[in-house]
Structure 1
Amino acid sequence: MHRCAPVSPRVNDGCQSNTIPVKRQRQSGNEKPKKSMAQDEASASLSVTMDKPVCFIDTDSDGKLCVQQSALQILQQIQQPVVVVAVVGLYRTGKSYLMNRLAGKQTGFALGSTIESKTKGIWMWCVPHPTKAGTTLVLLDTEGLGDVDKGDPKHDTNIFCLAVLLSSTLVYNSRGTIDNKAIMDLQYVTDLTECIKVKSSDEDADDLSNFVKFFPTFIWAVRDFTLELKIDDKDVTEDEYLDFALKMKHAPEKMSCLESLDVAAISSEFLKVTDHFCKFVFRDSSVKRLKDGYTVTGSVLGHLAKTYVDTISSGSVPCLENAVIAMAMIENEAAVKVGLQVYQSGMEKLKDSFPLELKAVSSKHQDLSSTATQAFMKRSFRDTEGEYLKSLEEQTVKLFDGYVCQNEQASKKQCEKILSSLSAPMMKKLKQGFYTKPGGYDLFCKDLEVIGKKYNSQAKKQVKAKEVLDEFLKQKSVDSKAILQVDKKLTVKEKKIRGESFK
């Protein structure tokens, strides 16, 4: 078990500021992290920097939770791995202030100035991770728990469950000592086995050991500057705090105006432990992963949120296994699209050089098919039956057939252009009646032979060379027959005239 110093607001009024611990529990499980496409191409991945948070999950007019489309559009742009830090806790305990500090801002997430809970639903703020390159930090500020004005006690449980399901680090924010009341306030954790299913089947019923594998890193931030970390007048460590009772003393608090206070007006000790808290979260919060260690990107996080919220809104219990299956389908379909885009992009560039030899087109097809498969494998998730890979292969073959057809059409046009140029003089002679004389047939055949030789020389690498030449010769056979008939008649007539002239 690992513990760290918490934060507690303190106005610089001359009173001593004390810190209380943060208690955290790491995820268990020995799954080997699987690299996603985003990890391999982190430097080229698209990231998003938001100036302010947006509403991520809200309640519609029917009182059901719903994911905001604008937030999903933001997440769809993030193809980097994401570290998702969510904060939960009773309302009016200063959760939003902590999240603003994690975002590196003084303001952003709303801080309420009354006893009414300010944050509604779940709000999201995406910023570049301050210490992990190629990673996006997604901060989720949740609606305060325990607000009696809500009227629906199950709403709090749903919000808490979503925070657990979506985060890689869950910060539970509370005030005061960790006593029996504080433990009772954390009742939502004990409700998880009833609100979340690990497996879809009834076999191997869910138990706490199963949940441990999926539960995010847990940090308990205890905010109370009125406690002294001393036992029998001796300083104690934060770890030792959890094992001893500490005395309390009264001190003023200005939680409602923290965002408007000048930094100089806030206790330096408070700022120090706040900074310590942020560094701790940045250092120890891991990238969000699914079962089998699959890395979650912003776009995957958006799909997960939609899946879980839709399930809860339908009255069903979110199932981690079903969510993974749904994500596998979504991600594998996306992986097929990625592979096809890689293939098509390369073939479209090759098309600019059409017509080409079939060998060249086939070779490029093989290279691009391999590259497309690699792109697919980086993005795919649990395609154990090879169904989606097979789909990619079938679609690339279909596309290849189309490009072969386009290459043939380009080749045909090129060959026809060559023949048109080479046969132009002969066509002119035909129109002028040059071949309509005795011996014209031999002249026509010789010209046709010359055209054929020149054509074969210029179009020998064209895939449609023979087909176009055969079609040309077929068309000219009509002229050839006509010229032959005229030639025979003229030759006979000429011979007859010559014979009569010798008599």
Structure 2
Amino acid sequence: MSSTIHMPAPVCLIENEDSGTLSVRKEGKDILDRISGPVVVVSVVGLYRTGKSYLMNRLAGQQTGFALGNTVESKTKGIWMWCVPHPSMPGHTLVLLDTEGLGDVKKGDSKNDSWIFCLAVLLSSTLVYNSRGTIDNDAVQKLQYVVELAEQIKIRSPKSASEDKEVEENDQFVRFFPLFVWAVRDFTLDLEINEKKATEDEYLNFALELKKGVGRKISDFNLPRECIQRYFPSRKCFVFPSPASPENMRCLESLQEQDLVPGFLEATHNFCKYIFVKSAVKKLKGGHTVTGKMLGQLAHIYVKTINDGQVPCLENAVVTLANLENQAAVEEALKVYKNGMEEISSKFPVGMESITIVHQKCSSLANSEFMKRSFKDDKGEYITKLTEAIDTYYKDLQQKNEMASEEKCKELLKNLFSDMSERLQNGAYSQPGGYKVYCRDKDDLIAQYHGEPDKGVRAEAVLNEFLIERGPEANSILHADKELTEKDRKIQEEKEKAALLKQKCKEEEEKRIESEQRMLADQEHQQDIIRQLQEKCKKEMEQKQEEMDRALDSKLKEQEELIKKGFDAKAEQLEEEIVRLNKEKEAAGNFFKEYIMPLASAGLDLANKVQTQKAIQNVLTSFFKAL
């Protein structure tokens, strides 16, 4: 996979079939699957034949690409995608989504339009709404799809929602919805409000002002305006004069820049510059950065939900995506560990210290790789899977290292003993003084054995087995040596026993050191997990607080405008949301300080992996619930 990709032309990502069924096209998803880096997703929506595709082409740095068409027939069906390297953010991909025109007379199904609009909102980090003429009441009312969003998108699963009935769903949209840009095409009016020059943003805010009073008409007038203000955290407006004369509009794709109206070129330049600078990386609920691969999975999840007749839910989508990503994170992290251990395994047999050092380094790299990709592992399920997989693989390597050590040591002893074996067969030790010669040769053999390097972890154990096997042989030579008195034999027997006991102690010491190093390695691994989890949770908490800060900023601005315009009752209602958001933000921060930060010094029995993992799982479950 690559961090970015450059497509020569757009492809269809989501097909809108004649039956009204939506489907994710394999070609489009395959392209997204190859993008491992973060994506900035810009979607354009609006009535058909309003020039949406032209703006997308300009964002791609091209004159042509997305089909423009020059008739009243809608050219774009479904959602088309164009991925290009982001012009000002290295390593990021700009994903442009051109949607099917809303209100196509041939379609005759407004529900289908609503789902196209809904998908554009769910998938993008910036939503461009394209319209023609002016932002009058008719233009605002045509944006009825915004009003329907509360019915078509759910933030939380039914279970979560039932646990927290206090929070209204549509009050949460501002946390997760994209930046909203209104592009007004073929604008011919002077930007003036109350006979004073106004900016484009002031023009938009003026158009979205609420009316005071009660009644059905006022309610209908205010509803779409309230939804735009409430759902989208940031709003921007650009007005574009007509790009060319009416006769040239038919061949807009082939026109050179000198053939276009200067004012239109300037507006297009400002629009593109703003999108490149202000459009944020696409993030999930909870603040996790979306990659191209994840975007393709999200599209698949949302389309499947819609086709199943259900309402897309951000929380459910995040959970589904998290499970996919976390499993992939386990596999990638385990691959990092295995690749790292290949070098040491090729050198088997090695000492316990050597394999432990490499194991600690590789397991830490694997943990780091997992933390980079994983998110919302709220029960510690996947970090436990990774730990268990690493443990299993490490134990297998240790067994292979022990076998390699055992084979090498046995072969070494066999070679070293070959001369003694020949003397035994020739009867060199079966004569007076033979036992003394035998002992001298055996001591020389043991000294040579100890002098051989890189015997591995079974060196003393194999030597002990060898000496025990030679015991009857030595005893036979001892008792056959006529030069020795009975007293001498007893003294030698005691020496033999002492030597075997000493060798047994060496074997036990070898095992003790090995066991101790294994335990220390396990503790180091657990501590590394805890340390990296602390960093991970801190990042998750910061992302969550950024999400809430974004919502708070939007709510405070909205409240300020309401107070300024005299809507005191609505401003008071917003105050309750602001207080609730502040409490939620404070609670998440306090939980992190009280439970996550002290985790490493919480008196965990690091030698007991099961107990440590359970403690980590319990804290993670509580932490993500608090988030």
Distance 1:178 1:458, change over 3 A: same
Amino acid at match of 2:35: I
Partners of 1:299 and 1:448 in 2: CA distance? 66
- The structure 2 residue matched to 1:424, chosen from 418, 429, 432, is 418
Partners of 1:342 and 1:430 in 2: CA distance? 53
Name the counterpart of 1:222.
Answer: 184
Maintained 8 Å contact 1:81/1:298: yes
Higher relative contact order (CA 8 A, sep 6+): 1
More helix by share: 2
State the secondary structure of the residue aligned to 2:41. strand
Shift of 1:479: 6.3
**Cα shift readout 1:368-409 (whole Å, capped 9, x = no counterpart):** 333322332232212233222222222221121111112112
Partners of 1:401 and 1:112 in 2: CA distance? 64
Maintained 8 Å contact 2:45/2:101: yes
Partners of 2:267 and 2:15 in 1: CA distance? 32
State the secondary structure of the residue aligned to 2:450. helix
Partners of 2:417 and 2:322 in 1: CA distance? 61
Partners of 1:406 and 1:174 in 2: CA distance? 69
Could you tell me the percent identity over the aligned residues? 52
- The structure 2 residue matched to 1:413, chosen from 402, 407, 423, is 407
Question: Do structure 1's residue 114 and structure 2's residue 71 form an aligned pair?
Answer: yes
Name the counterpart of 1:103.
Answer: 60
Maintained 8 Å contact 2:20/2:112: no
Partners of 1:239 and 1:436 in 2: CA distance? 106
Name the counterpart of 1:323.
Answer: 317
Maintained 8 Å contact 1:415/1:459: no
Shift of 1:223: 0.5
- The structure 1 residue matched to 2:394, chosen from 382, 400, 411, is 400
Shift of 1:471: 4.0
Partners of 2:448 and 2:320 in 1: CA distance? 62
Partners of 1:309 and 1:334 in 2: CA distance? 22
Maintained 8 Å contact 2:281/2:290: yes
Maintained 8 Å contact 2:349/2:455: no
Question: Do structure 1's residue 279 and structure 2's residue 273 form an aligned pair?
Answer: yes
Distance 1:469 1:299, change over 3 A: same
State the secondary structure of the residue aligned to 1:149. coil
Greater shift, 327-336 or 54-63, is seen at 54-63
- The structure 2 residue matched to 1:384, chosen from 378, 382, 397, is 378
Shift of 1:277: 1.1
Amino acid at match of 1:265: D
Amino acid at match of 1:392: L
Shift of 1:195: 1.0
State the secondary structure of the residue aligned to 1:78. coil
Gaps of 5+ in 1: 1-43, 492-503
- The structure 2 residue matched to 1:94, chosen from 36, 51, 57, is 51
Partners of 1:336 and 1:357 in 2: CA distance? 29
Maintained 8 Å contact 1:85/1:140: yes
Gaps of 5+ in 2: 208-238, 485-627
Partners of 1:422 and 1:256 in 2: CA distance? 94
Maintained 8 Å contact 1:199/1:206: no
Name the counterpart of 1:351.
Answer: 345
Which structure has the bigger radius of gyration? 1
Maintained 8 Å contact 1:434/1:440: no
Shift of 1:167: 0.2
Counting matched residue pairs gives: 443
Partners of 1:429 and 1:114 in 2: CA distance? 105
- The structure 1 residue matched to 2:298, chosen from 304, 321, 328, is 304
Name the counterpart of 1:263.
Answer: 257
Maintained 8 Å contact 1:369/1:396: yes
Partners of 1:200 and 1:422 in 2: CA distance? 72
- The structure 2 residue matched to 1:128, chosen from 85, 96, 120, is 85
Partners of 2:433 and 2:108 in 1: CA distance? 105
Shift of 1:158: 1.0
Distance 1:435 1:483, change over 3 A: farther
* 1:137-286 aligned within 5 A: 137-201=94-158, 202-203=161-162, 204=165, 206-229=168-191, 236-242=198-204, 243=206, 252=246, 254-286=248-280
Amino acid at match of 1:414: K
State the secondary structure of the residue aligned to 2:286. helix
Shift of 1:311: 0.6
Name the counterpart of 1:334.
Answer: 328
CA RMSD of aligned residues (A): 3.2
* 1:452-467 aligned within 5 A: 452-458=446-452, 462-467=456-461
Distance 1:106 1:462, change over 3 A: same
Amino acid at match of 2:107: K
Maintained 8 Å contact 1:441/1:480: no
Amino acid at match of 2:117: F
Name the counterpart of 1:5.
Answer: none
Distance 1:315 1:253, change over 3 A: farther
Shift of 1:435: 4.1
Partners of 2:442 and 2:406 in 1: CA distance? 20
Maintained 8 Å contact 2:405/2:455: no
Partners of 2:111 and 2:422 in 1: CA distance? 91
Partners of 1:441 and 1:460 in 2: CA distance? 33
